[in-house]
Amino acid sequence: MKLDDAAAHLEALGNPTRLKIYRTLIRAGGAGMPVGRLQDKLKIAPSTLSHHIKALVVVGLVTQVREATTLVCHANYSVMRELVDFLVAECCTESAAPPDAKTAA
């Protein structure tokens, strides 16, 4: 994952409301959760909720599947895993230096 992509993902998660949305979807498991149920659970105005969900969708952290009149949201585990991998590989230890670095200890 490129740094700019990682930053975009981090920014999407870097808002308490969106992080709550995302965590709720993770806890919903593979079945996901419709937008309306998220709205009931989190008590957010529909337009505001839609706005935040969209922010998560555009970076790929959440996907949506229509089921009749409801839109079911799913957390995308693999994107989150890529993000965590980026953080661990590039931002967690001194071994985060690139292989060609002349600064290796």
Partner DNA sequence: ACTATATTTCTAGAATTATCGAAATAATAG
Partner DNA sequence: CTATTATTTCGATAATTCTAGAAATATAGT
Q: Which does 102 bind (CB under 5 to 8 A by kind): a copy of itself, DNA, none?
A: none
Distances (CA, A) of 85 to 15, 64, 91, 97, 103: 21, 24, 10, 15, 23
Q: Contact between 80 and a copy of itself (CB under 8 A)?
A: yes
Contacting DNA within 59-98 (CB under 7 A): 64, 66, 68-72
Name the E strands within 1-105.
33-34, 62-67, 70-75
Q: How far is the CB of 16 from DNA (least distance, A)?
A: 8
Q: Contact between 65 and a copy of itself (CB under 8 A)?
A: no
Q: How far is the CB of 52 from DNA (least distance, A)?
A: 6
Burial pattern 41-53, b for ≥16 Cβ within 10 A else e, equals: eeebeeeebeebb
Q: Which residues bind DNA (CB under 7 A)?
A: 11, 15, 17-18, 34-37, 39, 44-55, 64, 66, 68-72
